Amino acid sequence: MVTHDTPSGRLLRPVRAHPVTAFLVWFFTVGQAVAFAPVVLAANGVDVPVQPFIVASTLVGLLLPALVLTRLVDGPDALRALWRRAVDVRVGLGWYVLAVVGVPAVTLGIAVALLGPPTGTVPALGGLLVGSFLLPLALTLLPNNLWEEVAWAGFVQTRLQARRGPVVAAVLTGVLFALQHVSLVVGSGPAAGAVLLAVLAVLAVPFRALIGWVLNRTGSLFLVGLIHATGNAAATGSGFGPGLLGRLYPGDTTATTAHLLAFLVLGLVVLVATRGRLGAPRPATASPRPATVADPSSLGSSAAAR
């Protein structure tokens, strides 16, 4: 991409050279300012719902810079390709079984193994699945997790993978992904919040490995967003209401974090089974270009992955 030697061109040159850095600067300033608004308001005696601010932080802090930087760095064709991947639902049935059945089943199995069967009154199965899984799934996928993964998986992780390989990309993206949640743990105090973030960062690495494998194998950002959302819906819910385990084990924080352990197990299985390749093409047969373009052989450049 030709950059004219104008004031605006000189200003944008480092952004084009380091799009991931530019993305992170925007998110950890503008995006986190939005996410921290409920924390600041609560400190001043004003209680507001947190989830609308989380959604706004995702849209303004994550999705917006991912789209703008893709257009700026790789051009309009790459932006259209990124959008196509975000709405690509044409994957094999087995992938949907993994997302909609496999992830919740492993999550539920871990909860039962740790806590035993639910002891309270269990709602009717149909109402439980619709009200405590499918509805939270829709409420977390469509406004939040899909666009979250367009940014983290489709923009950040694919660019890091192109330069540093799939495992390092999963590690780096996992740490950054964990730091995204700082506003949700800051109320626990500095020491406890730091411990929670450290634990989340460790658990996020195999989760990002699972996401990287699914994306490398299918190319569908919709599918990785769905996997992210089914884990949340099975455990914590949508942020607007409880999820499946929140209904089965009301008030139990272990149950509502079981999806993190499920992603840990699934991610480690993928890491071992693929020997760390995570479905990525071998370097000898693949050009290290950002996966935001539809055909890596015709668009993008290795410099844009910085």
Instruction: Write the pLDDT tens digit of every residue in 67-118.
Output: 999 999 999 999 999 999 999 999 999 999 999 999 999 999 999 999 999 8
Burial class of 68 by CB neighbour count within 10 A (0 to 12, 13 to 18, 19+): middle
pTM over 0.85: yes
Task: Map residue 268 onto helix, strand or coil.
Answer: helix
pLDDT above 50 (res 304): no
Average pLDDT on 122-140 reads 88
> CA-CA-CA-CA torsion for 142, 161, 293, 98, nearest 10 degrees?
-40
pLDDT at 124: 78
Residue 190: pLDDT band (50, 70, 90) is confident
pLDDT at 159: 97
Q: Looking up tokens 């194998």, which residue turns up?
A: 217
Residue 111 structure tokens: 């909860």
DSSP H or E segment with residue 195: helix 190-218
Task: Map residue 32 onto helix, strand or coil.
Answer: helix
pLDDT at 181: 93
pLDDT above 70 (res 273): yes
| Cα dihedral sign, 263-264-270-276 | positive
pLDDT at 291: 45
Cα separation, 237 vs 163, whole angstroms: 35
Average pLDDT on 48-61 reads 95
Residue 48: pLDDT band (50, 70, 90) is very high
Average pLDDT on 184-204 reads 91
pLDDT above 50 (res 302): no
Find the helix packing angle between 64-74 and 19-26, rounded to 10°: 160
Cα separation, 255 vs 276, whole angstroms: 30
Residue 294: pLDDT band (50, 70, 90) is very low
pLDDT at 93: 97
pLDDT above 90 (res 282): no
Average pLDDT on 189-204 reads 92
Residue 190, amino acid:
P
Asked if residue 147 lies in contact with residue 228, where contact means CB atoms within 8 angstroms, the answer is no
Average pLDDT on 269-282 reads 94
Angle at 177 between CA 175 and CA 179, to 5 degrees: 70
Burial class of 204 by CB neighbour count within 10 A (0 to 12, 13 to 18, 19+): buried
% of the chain beyond a pLDDT of 90: 73
Find the helix packing angle between 7-17 and 64-74, rounded to 10°: 110
Residue 63, amino acid:
L
Q: How far is CA 125 from the centre of its chain?
A: 29
Buried b (16+ CB within 10 A) or exposed e, 240-250: eebbbbbbbbe
pLDDT, one tens digit per residue, over 152-181 is 999 999 999 999 999 999 999 999 999 999
pLDDT above 90 (res 2): no
Asked if residue 104 lies in contact with residue 133, where contact means CB atoms within 8 angstroms, the answer is yes
Cα separation, 152 vs 279, whole angstroms: 18
pLDDT, one tens digit per residue, over 220-253 is 999 999 999 999 999 998 888 889 998 899 888 8
Cα separation, 91 vs 286, whole angstroms: 22
pLDDT at 286: 45
**Residue-averaged pLDDT of the chain:** 89
% of the chain beyond a pLDDT of 70: 89
Cα separation, 104 vs 107, whole angstroms: 5
Burial class of 43 by CB neighbour count within 10 A (0 to 12, 13 to 18, 19+): exposed
